[in-house]
Amino acid sequence: MTELDHIGAALDVQSTAAAPPVPESRSRVARLAWKILPPVVFFVLFVAFLYLVSYVLLSPERQFLLPPPHEVVQNGLFDWPNLHEQLIALKDTTKVSLIGLLIAFVIGTALAILMSQAEWIERSLYPYAVIVQVTPILAIVPLIALWFGYDVQARVVVCVLISIFPIITNTLFGLLTVDKNLHDLFTLQGAGRLTRLWRLQLPHAIPDIFVGLRVSAGLSVIGAIVGEFFFRQGTPGLGRLLDVYRARLESDLLMSTLLFCCLLGIAVFLAVGVVGNRLTRKWFEQGERA
């Protein structure tokens, strides 16, 4: 009960200070605590809830539906053969999703540049970009399997298809929203299309490109896992492991693999964000642009 009291007290402190932003005068430690404490408190509550369900609400013979968290950690993360299997899968999935993201970035940026050059190109291509976006990826997976087989390349194709749209739209937005006066400045100096693209539009679009990449990074990881899950063949990635553990009713391993899926998604998302911030931090006021 003391632990709960403690959490309650912590929550109380948070809520009274919630309205105004943290004043500058507070120490670094206090600000860091302010950032970290709320999600930590939530995590503790969530884990407590899992134990509650696992031990109290589920009868012992049905406990396999939701194994207690320490078993997930023990069997999934501290049992070497199991961990090894998952790490290999993690490596494989990481590879597929990064290759997919890179290809989506190259093709997506190229398409956006093409579309920015003439309205008729934009109007010819954009509807199909939307169609790729709205078609459920699961609906195309069988077709992709038919065309590209079941191995790495097929999974990469899934990643590209699922993650290309945010890159196209955000890049296009960045290319087309350059200040009119800046365009006038380039016009007065007789700048051509390529100069304008290279020295004005593309640098201007960099923050938007990173917004798109960040969304796409998460999607690409999903694409890799979904692809593996449904192909059920080829080198084993996280998606394939999920399917295997599900079939064996090994819910502890299922959950630890799920943890790896989340971690991979978060890692890629954060990595892209950090690179983007580093690149554009000098250019924009905080919050002025994404």
Partner 1 sequence: MSGTFAREQPSGRPEQGEQVIAFRSAGKVFPDGTEAVRDVSFTLRRGEFLSVVGPSGCGKSTLLRMASGLGPHTSGEVEAEAANIGFVFQDATLLPWRTVRKNVELLAELDGASKAERQRIAADAIRLVGLEGFEGHYPKALSGGMRMRTSVARALTMKPPLFLLDEPFGALDEITRGTLNEELQRLFVSERFAAIFITHSISEAVFLSTRVLVMSQRPGRIVESFDVPFGYPRSPELRFDPEFGRLSGEVSQALKAGYE
Minimal CA–CA distance to 213: which of 93, 127, 112? 112
Q: How far is the CB of 272 from partner 1 (least distance, A)?
A: 19
Rule CB under 8 A: say whether 211 interacts with partner 1: no
Nearer to partner 1, 211 or 226 (CB): 211
Tokens for 263, please give them. 């971690």
Residue pair 204/178 in contact (Cβ under 8 Å)? The answer is: yes
Q: How far is the CB of 181 from partner 1 (least distance, A)?
A: 4
Q: Out of 17, 184, 233, 249, which residue is the one contacting partner 1 (CB under 8 A)?
A: 184
Rule CB under 8 A: say whether 60 interacts with partner 1: no
Rule CB under 8 A: say whether 200 interacts with partner 1: yes
Rule CB under 8 A: say whether 189 interacts with partner 1: yes
Q: How far is the CB of 203 from partner 1 (least distance, A)?
A: 5
Residue pair 245/254 in contact (Cβ under 8 Å)? The answer is: yes
Tokens for 172, please give them. 């296009």
Q: Out of 4, 182, 263, 274, which residue is the one contacting partner 1 (CB under 8 A)?
A: 182
Rule CB under 8 A: say whether 18 interacts with partner 1: no
Cα–Cα distance for residue pair 46/176, rounded to 1 Å = 45
Tokens for 115, please give them. 């579309």
Rule CB under 8 A: say whether 150 interacts with partner 1: no
Please name the residue that has the structure tokens 């194994």: 67
Rule CB under 8 A: say whether 188 interacts with partner 1: yes
Q: How far is the CB of 177 from partner 1 (least distance, A)?
A: 13
Nearer to partner 1, 232 or 289 (CB): 289
Compute the chain's Rg from CA coordinates: 24
Nearer to partner 1, 174 or 234 (CB): 174
Rule CB under 8 A: say whether 275 interacts with partner 1: no
Q: Out of 5, 61, 119, 285, which residue is the one contacting partner 1 (CB under 8 A)?
A: 285
Q: How far is the CB of 121 from partner 1 (least distance, A)?
A: 24
String of contacts with partner 1 for each residue 223-262, x by CB under 8 A: ----------------------------------------
Q: How far is the CB of 120 from partner 1 (least distance, A)?
A: 20
Rule CB under 8 A: say whether 290 interacts with partner 1: no
Q: Out of 28, 193, 278, 282, which residue is the one contacting partner 1 (CB under 8 A)?
A: 282
Q: Out of 48, 206, 244, 271, which residue is the one contacting partner 1 (CB under 8 A)?
A: 206
User: Binding residues for partner 1, per CB under 8 A?
Assistant: 179, 181-182, 184-191, 195, 199-200, 203-204, 206, 280, 282-285
